[in-house]
Amino acid sequence: MTKLQKETIYDIAQKAGASASTVSAALNGTWKKRRIAKVTAERIIAIAQEQGYSANLQARALRTSRSGLVALLIPEYNRFFSNIAQTFSAEVRARNQCPVIISTARDPEEERRTVSDLTAWNIDAIFFVGSVAPEDLSRHCTAAQVPHVFVDQPCAIAPSVVTDSRTGAHILTREIIASMRARDVPIGASPRDTIYFVGGDRLLPSTRNRVEGFSEALYAHLGRLDPDQIIAQTYDLDAATASISALYTRLGGLPRGLFINSDSVFEGALRFLATLPEAELTSCSFGVFDYEPYGQLLRFPVHMMRQRHKMLVHRAFALLDEASPPVIEMVQPELYPAPLR
Strands 195-198 and 230-231: parallel
**Whole-angstrom Cα distance, residue 136 to residue 143?**
11
Helices 263-273, 237-251: inter-axial angle, 10-degree rounding: 50
Contact 185, 256 (CB under 8 A): yes
pLDDT at position 288 is 97
- Per-residue b/e over 281-291, b at no fewer than 16 CB within 10 Å? bebbbbbbbbb
For 262, counting Cβ atoms within 10 Å of its Cβ (0-12 exposed, 13-18 middle, 19+ buried), the class is: buried
* DSSP states of 265-292: HHHHHHHHHTTS-HHHHTTSEEEESS--
| pLDDT tens per residue across all 341 residues of the chain | 444 456 777 788 888 888 878 887 787 667 776 778 888 888 888 887 776 665 554 445 444 456 789 999 999 888 899 999 999 999 999 988 999 999 998 899 999 999 999 988 889 999 999 998 999 999 999 999 999 999 999 999 999 999 999 999 999 999 999 999 999 999 999 999 999 999 999 888 999 999 999 999 999 988 889 999 999 988 899 999 999 999 999 999 999 999 999 999 999 999 999 999 999 999 999 999 999 888 777 888 999 999 999 999 999 999 999 999 999 999 999 999 987 65
Domains in the chain, CATH or no CATH each: 9-55 (1.10.260), 67-158 (3.40.50.2300), 165-306 (3.40.50.2300)
Residues whose CB falls within 8 Å of the CB of residue 292, separated by 6 or more in sequence, listed in order: 79, 263, 266, 304
Distance CA 278, CA 315 (A): 42
Asked if 174 contacts 167 with a C-beta cutoff of 8 angstroms, the reply is: no
Query: Can you list the alpha helix ranges (DSSP code H) found in the chain?
Result: 9-16, 20-28, 38-50, 57-64, 79-94, 108-120, 134-143, 165-182, 205-222, 237-251, 263-273, 278-281, 309-321
- How far is it, in rounded angstroms, from Cα 54 to Cα 49? 8
Phi, psi of 287 (to 5 degrees): -135, 135
Phi and psi, residue 243, nearest 5°: -65, -45
Q: Each residue of 154-168: b (16+ CB within 10 Å) or e?
A: bbeebbbbbbbbbbb
Residue type at 10? Answer: Y
Cα 273 to Cα 208: distance, rounded to the nearest angstrom = 26
Q: Against a cut of 0.85, is the pTM above it?
A: no
